[in-house]
Amino acid sequence: MALNGILVPLITPFDADGAVALDALDRLARDVLDAGASGLVALGTTGEPASLTPAEQDAVVEVAVTVSREYGTPLLVGARPDLAERPGVTAALSTVPAFVRPGEAGVIAHFEVLAATVPLVIYHVPQRTGQTLSAEALLHLAGIPGVIGMKYATTVIDDTTVALVADMPDGFALLGGDDALISPLLAIGAHGGILASAHVDTRAFVRLATAWQSGDHARARHLGNRLVPLARALFAEPNPSVLKGVLHTQGRIPTPAVRLPLLPAAPSSVTHALATVS
């Protein structure tokens, strides 16, 4: 199943008793797909997977599998590569283990072993893992059998990015992971994005991706510029605190609760984010 367009990395909503609100998760998944998202991600960073029990993680994935099957859309699963073996899951979304910093050869060896067991979308996010990679290493990873894509979140678009885009192999999908930089990354050839901000204005992010891919550059630039303030506002505090505050205020999830070590967003941050929604 090809990866392109906008995939939404689902939050994990909690109810007033602190339990996972599976009904709200189901509605949210359907909302973003109805609005044009091309796929879902369960148990990504936005979903607070480290704070969920294994049983809660399984329940979240089951909801996402059910909805994705109904819509015929891809589903990526983070946190636990073993869950990518579940029927209905397209691929695992996986980072190199944080804090280890194994060097480029170690990163390549790690993903070669993992991709031999499950289809894989590599999540390259050096500000979280502490591991930077050269263009040569990224292109090596892109060519590993079983690697179908990469979530690319380096906070910059630089020579390494350009080199990766220029030589991507066929069948490999480059998906932006820095919400505020998604427009320029699409402009130089990314296939889409995995964007937490797309919970809030899914249609606008979908239109942005479509505009770049169809060659409507003037419209794409306009949409991209308009969406940057929203993306920045939603990430003004640790993700997904502000996002959950916005979704709760909009009546889409039962509470704005996050689990420790995260804290709820300040009301001023939520108010500011809401003011950027067109």
Q: Interhelix angle for 202-214 vs 217-234, to 10°?
A: 150
Calpha distance 37→31 (Å, rounded):
9
- Contact, 31 vs 46, CB < 8 A? no
Distance set, CA 239 to CA 34, 70, 81, 243, 248 (Å): 24, 29, 22, 7, 15
For residue 264, the 8-state DSSP code is: P
- Residue 120's contacts (CB-CB under 8 Å, 6 or more residues apart) are 81, 84, 91, 92, 94, 111, 114, 144, 146, 147, 148
Does 151 participate in catalysis according to the annotation?
A: yes
Q: What are the tokens at 242?
A: 């502000």
Task: Name the CA dihedral angle for 174, 177, 178, 183, rounded to a multiple of 10 degrees.
Answer: 40
Exactly one of 71, 123, 152, 244 is catalytic; name it.
Answer: 123
Give dist(CA 151, CA 149) in Å, integer.
7
Is 244 a catalytic site residue? no
Catalytic sites, residue numbers: 123, 151
